[in-house]
Structure 1
Amino acid sequence: MASTTTSTADPDPVIASYDVYLTDSEISRYVLQYLDRPTGSSYDDRHGQKPTSFRLKPTTGLVEVDIPINTRVNYDASKGLRYGDALKKSRSTREGGAYGMAGGFSSGGSTSMGGKVKMEAVEAAEGNRAAADAASLLRVQTLGGRIKGPEDGDPVYMLAAFRGANLHLSPVSAVVQLHPQLHHLDALDEVPVKGKGKARKEGEEERPAEAEARAIDVKIKAAEDGEAAMVAGNLELLKKMQDEKWKDYEWVDAETEESWQLYENYMMHQDVEGLPQLESAINSEDYLDQMSAPRIDPARPDMTGWAMKQNRKKQREGEQAAEGHTEGGMIG
């Protein structure tokens, strides 16, 4: 139902009014913020950068999104080959391991590495060398972030969807800020440097070198018990991040028919006639008290808040009683 006002004296006229509906709060809805992405350049199929992978660790709240890189514009192919080759060799031996927070900031990756990094031999003919290099080219950029659990006092965000005169509000589970992840640099650090020191003899078989990064035990002495507990909690959280497995999800482009169907199903109520009506738990006066500073009665500065309300209530009851007595006297 829409309403308009013809009065020009009203400085804040009512333009329109809508019936508001709250959708199911049990559905997880996440808002992803790309902090280094200009407005109007979405990661979607229309801009040639539809995400190729979406990963989530539900318990620890880690999120990663793989975005295609345009290798034809402002791209250093030599470094792309170097980083891509490092990722290929490292990930092929990690058995599902991860980098950064997802890997617990562990330099050794999964424990199955046994202290050594196995190097895959590239057996390709000279004619297929270009194809092998192209396969190792770094073609995706990983963005990552963490879902922050709600705390008391945090704002509640809603997603709004209009359908005619109805406004449907859907609660947001979390707002996740995504930052570029430097996994390619971590992978490059894991690749051992060969050929150091003495040169290999001609015809001598090249053997895998030991990984330079070794896991070490770090003992942290905190100044206070509170700091010690915080450090222990952080280490435990990193361990959980490393142990939890990724869950992969399919990314549906925003302009596809499937995406619009999901939008209709999870952002709007299909049968608004049978929904229950919300009832306010407080009256208007209590609402103003909650939203405003304590009210002070000029006649009684010592009376504020609840005492002031009780005083005004007695005054109103006295005024109503006096009016009733006057009317009775006039009738008599």
Structure 2
Amino acid sequence: MDTADEDPVVAEYDVFITPEMEEQLYVLQYLNRPPDDPFTQATGSKPDSLRLKQHSGFLEVDVPLNVHQHFNRQMGVQWGEALRKTKQFGQKAYGIASGFERTMPRLNRPGAAAADGQAAPATATNDDNYEEYVENFEDANEKGHVLNMQTFGGQIQHNDAKGPTYMLGTFRKNELHLTKLKGLVQMRTQFHHIDAIAQLEAANRRREKEAQEGAKQAEPKAFVATVKKAGGDTAAEITQAFMKATNAEKWQRLDYMDENSPQAFESFEERLFLPDTAAAAMLHSNMTNNQYLDAISAPSAGRGLKKRPSNRRQGAMVEISDDSDAGEEPTVSGKKDGDGQALNSEEMK
């Protein structure tokens, strides 16, 4: 008879938990990026910039594109120009990170004035020099007329008491050091250039409509002050308030260090390892094995059984025979509880 262990222990590690950091520690998960092709300097795809909206939790990363290989120059110019022009309108973000708000250009109107009292400058939306930019592609790329960045974005899934607690593990010899994460961010490809195209088309329609109907004279308008009712607790109102706050929140620009840079290795050693393992306090669980199993197990469904409170020690094993005839009490076969007392049929009901 083969008595070999089917699940042998191949390694043992001493587990340490590092002190909670003051910095925010997140893990960015790129769902449509193969793990053997990371965004690094070595692969020529080191992220160019990283921006964060701390309050609403949105995060975006710009990764350079290789515009010299398998690249549609004409569409690259068209999309790059759309982004450039909409940013000139004052658009700071796109999609859900902007609350789905669009900033439209200020057109020249008789009597219209900017905040400083001067006439608001007109923003050209139809200065299409696409062919020239395609012919002088290298120059156009350097001057920002080409879409040469791929944007990934997501919203931070914060670590709260309702969900699981994620920790980042780092190994050093026979030691495993665990550091608590602030949250996860699932990064997906963002199509801001498509949003910019739609926004530019809307601006052109608006300009053509005013050209046909004629610009209206800017006149002062009377208004009536009303008292807004208290509320804001419905799902629609909460979502609307969140979108409005998201659009008003400004991006925070962060520096991105390559994983092979000296700064990355220095932060890795300082923040992800417990400095003094000899003086580390022993970890003690505040749950027994059965309490832990009850906490992670799904409740039984459809049986209609309720657990009776008991003051007996945990670990009692009871076996009930279901072979009794109808109407007879179930029998208990030779099992005892933790105190050595036999259990009768009444205690099993």
TM-score w.r.t. length of structure 2: 0.67
- 1:282 is matched with 287
Letter in 2 for 1:91: K
- 1:49 is matched with 45
Q: Residues of 2 paired with 1:87 and 1:273: CA distance?
A: 56
Letter in 2 for 1:34: Y
CA 316–101 in structure 1, closer or farther in 2 if over 3 Å, else same: closer
Choose from 243, 246, 255 the match for 2:251.
Answer: 246
Letter in 1 for 2:150: Q
Letter in 2 for 1:63: L
Matches within 5 A, 1:204-283: 229-283=234-288
TM-score w.r.t. length of structure 1: 0.70
Contact 1:100 1:183 in 2 (8 A): yes
Q: Residues of 2 paired with 1:234 and 1:258: CA distance?
A: 40
The structure in which a higher percent of residues are helix is 1
**Cα deviation code 1:148-200 (max 9, x no counterpart):** 23344412222111111111011222121111212112222333449969x9x
Q: Secondary structure at the match of 1:306?
A: coil
Shift of 1:254: 0.7
Q: Residues of 1 paired with 2:153 and 2:8: CA distance?
A: 45
- 1:102 is matched with 97
Contact 1:31 1:175 in 2 (8 A): yes
Count of aligned residue pairs for this structure pair:
278
Q: Residues of 2 paired with 1:310 and 1:90: CA distance?
A: 67
Contact 1:99 1:109 in 2 (8 A): no
Shift of 1:261: 0.9
**Cα deviation code 1:116-165 (max 9, x no counterpart):** 86138799xx99x8265332111101111111233444122221111111
- 1:143 is matched with 152
Q: Larger deviation: 103-112 or 36-45?
A: 103-112
Task: Specify every segment of 5 or more residues in structure 2 that has no aligned partner in the other structure, as ranges.
Answer: 107-113, 217-231, 300-304, 317-335, 342-349
Q: Secondary structure at the match of 1:147?
A: strand
- Confirm or deny that 1:9 pairs with 2:16: no
Q: Residues of 2 paired with 1:104 and 1:84: CA distance?
A: 22
- Confirm or deny that 1:34 pairs with 2:30: yes
Percent identical residues: 31
Shift of 1:278: 1.9
Letter in 2 for 1:22: I
- 2:61 is matched with 65
Q: Larger deviation: 156-165 or 52-61?
A: 156-165
**Cα deviation code 1:24-66 (max 9, x no counterpart):** 3334221111122123111111111100000001110000000
Shift of 1:89: 2.1
Q: Secondary structure at the match of 1:75?
A: coil
- 1:206 is matched with none
Task: Specify every segment of 5 or more residues in structure 1 that has no aligned partner in the other structure, as ranges.
Answer: 1-6, 200-208, 211-226, 295-300, 320-332
CA 75–308 in structure 1, closer or farther in 2 if over 3 Å, else same: same
